[in-house]
Structure 1
């Protein structure tokens, strides 16, 4: 009987020790340490001014927006795990749960809304073309007919042009915008098409100074949204965070910091739920 009492007492002491250790771990997380608390965010890794991976970390407008949202959700900067979200992979990443949300120049479209949900929009961009600075042959959408037009796999940009504006355009789909840019520089393609915000970021890079120019064609409206898994309660929380970001002027600062050097003429911050067709 005495042996049973000693064993029971030892077990009680051990249980108290484990409980104390667990409580200590929780308190550490609450005090701001990263611990195991993480949020995974999908961004572009190769879009200057939007989302770019650099030796110093990650930069761009989408990165600033995502960081602000994460903070409003209760996560510090060091608790964010960044994951590359290529255009063709975004819906799949959300559906599989690879990321909590995606901020990657992700235009809201009816087709995509069938697969995922969107918070926002948080930026209204316009489709344009990037040209070599010495190319004066493209002054309107019609001039893109018979031209070699590049965009990335999974993006709607080039297909929009071919379907609605220049049916005779030759579409070339590359895996990244950087690959398209190389093709443009080498004259393998005539124009790179995507959103003006993305193109402005490329044109503004120091190593491309004077080599490229924006065509100035506002061919479509691109409503950037934050992608979340279908039915996720994050949508409402992210919308609240975006509204706060606009009201406290952090949105304006992010626009100036990331697009200011390219003299990008941005639209005002869109209202949540107001998708411009």
Structure 2
């Protein structure tokens, strides 16, 4: 990981052009010259990004972000400031400069790409559905017809259930129950205020693993989503460097190790190979 050249002359020219604190034109320049970076993650998602005390958040996305920053720093010490980045605020946080990178179950979608430059994806994961273990009426995803589905603010996952193609998948009639985030969805599912949560299986697996007697996954995938590293629109140099870091993370076995560390006991099938980058326009 240490001492690997990044992205060639374009990156180095942009880094060299960066001035004092606050004047960096690229995140990779800020990391290398200021030794600082602000990283957004989720703080309410078990096994992905969960903050429970005074320390930093913990989880798969946090470890991925740490690896990427360390790679971009090329062996130099970097101070990481962690900032909570809920789904509904991710684009705004990047655009107003509150965060430099977002690693927070951030699906790469056509609607987001005009506003965000995405590095990666670092993982491709299927969308699944979680229900109460006691609810035996829902055995497969099509059993959701007429049920109550969680609509987490800022997330598009519900659309693949309720919308028709091309944007959706199943076009099922359902009652949408709004929630602030996926941890709020889980609380409402437990309280009987809704019947199902549908989103990426690693998100659901973390919640289900905390209370395996209370929740279960259907293991009936709807689609697959690509999780990317969110970067301010136009920072191509950092995007290219992040893609090199992600490739290294898979090639040296770190990605596989982290997936097993955080999800090896959840029963979900884990990704096993480096995804194809979406490119850095």
TM-score normalised by length of structure 2? 0.81
Per-residue CA deviations over 1:17-76 (Å, capped at 9, x if unaligned) read xxxxxxxxxxxxxxxxxx963100010011111111122432111101000011012187
Equivalent pairs, count: 240
- Show the counterpart of 2:250: 246
Please state if 1:64 is matched with 2:68: no
Please state if 1:219 is matched with 2:222: yes
How far did 1:122 drift? 0.8
CA RMSD in angstroms, aligned pairs only: 2.0
Contact 2:123/2:275 (<8 A) preserved: no
Pairing 1:58-207 to 2, within 5 Å after superposition: 58-74=57-73, 79-164=79-164, 165-205=170-210
Contact 2:35/2:76 (<8 A) preserved: no
Contact 2:101/2:229 (<8 A) preserved: yes
Query: What is the CA–CA distance in structure 1 between the aligned matches of 2:256 and 2:76, rounded to whole Å?
Result: 21
Contact 1:141/1:166 (<8 A) preserved: no
Contact 2:35/2:77 (<8 A) preserved: no
Query: What is the CA–CA distance in structure 2 between the aligned matches of 1:203 and 1:259, rounded to whole Å?
Result: 11
Contact 1:145/1:166 (<8 A) preserved: no
Contact 1:124/1:269 (<8 A) preserved: no
Structure 1 or 2: more helix by fraction: 1
How far did 1:272 drift? 3.5
Instruction: Describe the SS at the equivalent of 1:113.
Output: coil
How far did 1:235 drift? 0.2
Contact 1:106/1:226 (<8 A) preserved: yes
Please state if 1:271 is matched with 2:275: yes
- Show the counterpart of 1:255: 259
Per-residue CA deviations over 1:155-210 (Å, capped at 9, x if unaligned) read 001122110314311111211211111111111110111110100000111xx131
Q: Structure 1: which 5+ runs fail to align?
A: 1-34
- Show the counterpart of 2:234: 231
Contact 1:107/1:222 (<8 A) preserved: yes
Query: What is the CA–CA distance in structure 2 between the aligned matches of 1:77 and 1:185, rounded to whole Å?
Result: 43
Q: Once structures 1 and 2 are overlaid, which stretch shifts more, 133-142 or 116-125?
A: 133-142
Q: Structure 2: which 5+ runs fail to align?
A: 1-32, 165-169
Are the structure 2 counterparts of residues 76 and 146 from structure 1 closer, same or farther at C-alpha, using a change threshold of 3 Å? farther
TM-score normalised by length of structure 1? 0.82
